[in-house]
Structures are given as C-alpha cells and as structure tokens.
Amino acid sequence: MKKKIWFSVNILISAVFLWLALRGVDYGEMIDSFTRVNYFWVLASVGINIFSCWLRAVRWQYLMLPVARIKTNRMFSALMIGFMVNNILPFRLGEFMRGIALKRTERVSFSASMGSVAIERVIDVITLMMIFGLTLIFFPFPLWVKSGSVIILIIIAVSILIWYLMVHHTEATVAFLERFSQRWMKKSSARISQIVRSFIVGMSLIKSWKFLSVIFIQSAVVWGTYIFAILAMFYAMNMDITYALGLLESTVVMIFTSFAIMIPAAPGYVGTYHEIAKQGLLMFRVDKELAVGWAILSHAYNYISITGIGLYYYFKNNLNLKELFQPMNEND
C-alpha cells in the first residue's frame, strides 16, 4: 500500500511540474519552433549523450576491476538496461536491474555490482556539486537555486559522514542502521540492509586514493560530455545565434536538469525535467515557448534513444523484470 501511495505522489509531482511547464504557453508558437529545428544537431546531441553512457560504462568497468575484468560492451549493456528500466518503472529500480543484468551475463556478485553502483552515485553527486561550485564563480544563480543547493550540500555532508562511519566504524554503523530500519521501516528493512551492505562492499572496491582520483577524473569527463550534448541541442534550435548561448549557459542548464532528475517523479523524469529546464533557459531570456519546445525535444529524443538501446540489450540478454521483485540470496 505504501508503495502505491508513494507512486501516486510521484505521478502527482510530475503532473504538477508538467502543468507548470506548459502554463501560459502559446502552443502554436511552441509547435512552430519545431519546424525550424536542425536535426543534424539533434542527432549529434543524442550521439554525444550515448557516448557519455559509454564513458560511464568505462568508469564502471574500472570501478569493478578489483572484482572482475569485464568487457566494456558488457558493462554498457547492463548500464543501458538499467537506464531503460528507470525510464519505464518507478523508484529507480533500474539501479537494481544493473546489478541483476551483470550477475546474469557475467556471473558477478550482485552485492559487488550494487556496491559499485552505490559508490558511483555518491561520486556523481559530489562531482556535480563541484561543477556547480565552480559555475557559481562565473554565473549569478537565483536565490531559489542557491537555497536548493544548500539542502543538497547538507545531504552530501550527511552521506559523507555515514561513509566515514561505515569505513571506520563498520559494525556499529550497520547495526544502528539495521535497528533503525527494523523499528521505523519494517517492510523496507531488508532492502535497506541490502543497500547498506552493498555500499560497504562498494567501499572495499576502492583500493587507494589514486584509484579514487581516477574515478573522479572519469566522472568529470562524463559530466563534461553532458554539457556538450546540451550545447548541440542549443545549436539544433539556433539558440546559439538568437540568444548567444554557449558553454557557460549549457553548463548552467546541465546543472538545472541534473537537479531535476533528483526530484521524485514519474518514470523518465516527466514534468520535473521540462519545468526546470525551462526555468534554466528563462534565466537567459529565452522565449518561453522556445524554452518549453527545447525541453520537450531534448527529453523526447534522449528518452527514446536510451530506452530503445536498453530494450535491445534487455531482450538480447533474455532478462525478466520479475527478477527485480525476487529477493537476492546473501551469496549472490
């Protein structure tokens, strides 16, 4: 029942954000903006975005080296399957599907896979916040963005504290989190315990500061490709000429849209992506109809391409979504 309520809340959030994105928009002008699109740059943007996924696979491959040497195309396959599931199912189940896909195709421990995914996500957030911090030097973000970033920084600080406690006081921290989940979130306690132990496994994959430094450099390159993917989409709608949008502006919009996908919402980040991307573009005095049109175009093409590639690998590897709802054994 709680899952149904939370899913309904997510759908409602998406509906509200979609309403905000489309509120007051002249649909005729918005549709007219699509007729002037340069689809060479759209395809270029999609290609860069897919390339960024390949770079993510390379990073994941490196992170998994202490466990097993896995070919990049296998990591890419599992990654795209996970992204596809995130696009069609709620609750970020795609992250778990990544672990299942790797276990089925490479016989890699599910705990090790999920541990690497947990560490990867923490590093992603830290890298994004570092980019955000650097961008603050060059661009005056509005107060509501800065206020939101404070909340995210608090979350990161708490996460780093938990990270530290898990490394230096592992048993006591795990015992506390398990007692807390069993008392306050009984139905989710098994899943929380699994996530905590996966995170500890992930920590064990980091063998040295040098190893961690390479992961952060790879992460910076991954986020950099997102900036160029957005820039190419600016070119697609002639926004580089009309509004002089360049690398700084694409970095700002990348930060906005990255924050957008952190908000609980319907599968595929519908609504949250569109409204927050629009708000990012409005800061550069982009016409509202063009801003919404850009958000729709950018979201649609990347959604279709990522979901399509993920579905291809899903069927190629003979996976079953039912596996997401089956408990994993301790030895998996």
| Average confidence (pLDDT) over 286-309 | 97
- By the 8 A CB rule, do 230 and 250 touch? yes
Q: Is 297 domain-assigned?
A: no
Q: What DSSP assignment string belongs to 273-290?
A: HHHHHHHHHHTTT--HHH
Q: Is 5 domain-assigned?
A: no
% of the chain with per-residue pLDDT over 70: 84
Q: Is 223 domain-assigned?
A: yes
**Is the predicted pLDDT of residue 272 greater than 60, yes or no?**
yes
Confidence of residue 126 (pLDDT cuts 50, 70, 90): confident
Q: Is 18 domain-assigned?
A: no
CA–CA gap between residue 78 and residue 314 (Å, rounded): 8
| pLDDT tens digit sequence for 153-163 | 777 677 677 76
**Total domains present in the chain:** 1
User: Mean pLDDT score of the chain, rounded to an integer?
Assistant: 87
**Is the predicted pLDDT of residue 283 greater than 80, yes or no?**
yes
Max avg pLDDT among 52-56, 105-109, 138-142: 52-56
| Average confidence (pLDDT) over 182-193 | 60
- By the 8 A CB rule, do 298 and 277 touch? yes
Q: Is 172 domain-assigned?
A: yes
| pLDDT tens digit sequence for 159-176 | 677 767 766 676 777 777
- State which residues form the domain around 80: 38-232+303-320
**Is the predicted pLDDT of residue 137 greater than 60, yes or no?**
yes
Q: Is 55 domain-assigned?
A: yes
Max avg pLDDT among 94-98, 204-208, 307-311: 307-311
pLDDT for residue 192: 63
- By the 8 A CB rule, do 222 and 52 touch? yes
Q: Is 307 domain-assigned?
A: yes
Q: Is 330 domain-assigned?
A: no
Confidence of residue 197 (pLDDT cuts 50, 70, 90): low
Helix intervals (H) in 64-93 = 72-88
Q: Helices 110-138 and 247-260, interaxial angle, to 10°?
A: 130
pLDDT for residue 167: 65
